[in-house]
Amino acid sequence: MEFMQNLLGAWWTPLWTLVKIMIIVIPLMLAVAYVTYAERKVIGWMQVRIGPNRVGYQGLLQPIADGLKLLMKEIIIPSGANKGLFILGPILAIAPALAAWAVIPFTDKWVLANIDAGLLYVMAITSMGVYGVIVAGWASNSKYAFLGAMRSAAQIVSYEIAMGFALVGVLMASQSLNLVDIVNGQAGGIHHWYFLPLFPLFMVYLISGVAETNRAPFDVAEGESEIVAGFHVEYSGMAFAVFFLAEYANMILIAALTTLMFLGGWLSPFTFLPDGFIWWAMKVAFVLFLFLWFRATFPRYRYDQIMRLGWKVFIPITIVWIVVVGGMMQTPYKHWFH
Amino acid sequence: MMTFAQFIFYFFSAILLFAGLRVITARNPVHAALNLVLAFFTAAGLWMTLEAEFLAITLVLVYVGAVMVLFLFVVMMLDINLDKLREGFWDYLPLALPVAILLMLEMTVVLGGRFFGLDKTAAPAAHPAGYSNTKELGRLIYTQYVYAFEIAAVILLVAIVAAIALTMRKRKDTKYIDPAKQVSVKRADRLRIVKMVAEKKGVTGEEQG
């Protein structure tokens, strides 16, 4: 490595960063492909079906076949669409979903950018994901797409507030905005993880995460039985696939953030076992399984129920619990809260 | 030879100027709003180079992530007739021209820093790598400027309450749903199972099926 460093000189830093970005993005894209496969298999089993089993052993090559199929298909641009924005829509959807991974730590050493305000950065970048949906919905020049975009915009903006407040609790407990420090603050076994003292915030964050990614039971933005496919009804081929990739990349991102902030990240649950990336991966997989489980279990919320849950239930819960955490930190029991 | 920081500054400034120009020249109001989003985002990048990462990220979080989304929401819903909007555009010239000239003069004074003795004070020293802008800002707001901060917060709260009070007009005949009642509903309230004999005689299950 030192040899390469001397050889490349000033070019070393950008090139090495590019390599590191690839080391994150390529496994992420593979993970996205296999989360779609896991989703079809898991929901299949929950509904006593088999799921995909034709392509490859046990259907393991199914996501590759799906990807190839979508690549081959024609991208149709509707005649009344705003062409530039129609193409910009999927790009705006996937760019934040990938950019947020820059600050996600995989272990205490494996992190691309260990920045001080990591948590704020993630919140700011993920809040931009909504533009992909709105721009796509508007540029399609279709009523269904536009309805989906409007629903999605209102939903994402509403749940972002509850999510932000849930994170305020985490940063009060850890007294840091840096994701590595937040995980290190939970060291010392499973009973030190933040999901116990911040249990209401953990639930709010997890459920808001499902709503933020437009997943069932909060999938009114797509709502197949109501508005066909919502904001991406006019998209086909790879343009549609990019929306798909963005949704699943966001799902994995929310699962990773839940893991880092409430479930102790790469820390092992028992002090006698070593910490490591394997714990991180197992916890993320567990949260992703919850996402699939929700989809197989719950019927879709009605729109007014979603708004009520966000504004009248979650936001008051988070505000009350922030006050509780603040109060407890002034008492002798403060070691429970950080 | 430019340093990398200078290159970043000019790169972002060029995008910011272009985006700002497009906000006022774009014919389509949605394009204008999206250009404003780009302008905010680029401005956040410039603030980042000033080591003000908290303000930069908050600009993206609040303005790009929330305010502009709602703005775009409204602009998309409105059916704006552009030709009608542009009618009589040049009638405002006698008022607009003095304002524009005044603005330009003020900016010249500010940007030409020597009127403020900018060349006499040294550039602020760069902070070490471990410096947390967020922590310092929080400390200042909650100690030195706590009253100003609290007053600003209360004013904002009053504005929120006032805005809601002004727009909340409840219609008497509105049908609305009480979720608590919905949740507590029992089967017996909605469903009654009655036993009755079959109407037709002699029809078997297979024929019905």
For residue B64, give how far its alpha carbon lies from the nearest alpha carbon of chain A (Å): 7
Residue (of A165, A151, A150, A160) closest to A212 by Cα position: A160
Amino acid making up residue A83 = K
In tens, the pLDDT along A170-210 reads 888 888 888 888 888 888 778 888 888 888 999 999 999 88
- In angstroms, what CA-CA distances link A26 with A18, A29, B50? 12, 5, 33
Residues B129-168: tens digit of each pLDDT: 667 778 888 888 889 999 999 999 999 999 999 998 888 8
Q: Scanning every residue of chain A, which has its alpha carbon at the shortest distance from the alpha carbon of B135? A: A176
Structure tokens at A155: 């939903």
DSSP state letter for B124: P
A220 touches B at CB < 8 Å: no
Closest CB from B31, B61, B70 relative to A123? B61
Provide, rounded to the nearest whole percent, the portion of chain B with pLDDT above 70. Answer: 89
- The predicted-structure confidence for B71-105, as pLDDT tens digits, reads as follows 888 888 777 666 676 777 788 888 989 999 999 99
pLDDT band at residue B1 under the 50/70/90 scheme: low
Taking the Cβ of residue A138 and every Cβ of chain B, the question of whether any pair is shorter than 8 Å is answered with yes
More confident residue, B2 or B43: B43
- What A67-72 contacts at long range (C-beta under 8 Å, 24+ apart), as own/partner pairs, is A67/A33, A67/A241, A70/A237, A70/A238, A70/A240, A70/A241, A71/A237, A71/A238, A71/A241, A72/A237
Cα separation of B179 and B185, whole Å? 10
Question: Is B157's Cβ below 8 Å from some Cβ in A?
Answer: no
Q: What pLDDT is attached to residue B199?
A: 79
Sign of the Cα pseudo-torsion (A80, A85, A91, A94, in order):
negative
Q: Mind telling me how many Å the CA of A290 is from chain B's nearest CA?
A: 24
Mutation target to probe the B interface, by most B beta carbons within 10 A, among A17, A91, A120, A313 is A120
Q: How far apart are CA A278 and CA A327, in angstroms?
A: 36
**pLDDT at site B209:** 46
Q: What share of chain B is helix, strand, coil (3-state, %, to 5)?
A: 70, 0, 30
**Are B34 and A130 an interchain contact pair (Cβ–Cβ within 8 Å)?**
no
Window B:169-208, CB contacts with A under 8 Å: 177, 179
Say how far apart CA B23 and CA B1 lie, in whole Å: 33
Residue with structure tokens 């070393």? A12
Q: Over pLDDT 90: what percentage of chain A?
A: 16
CB A104 within 8 A of CB A111: yes
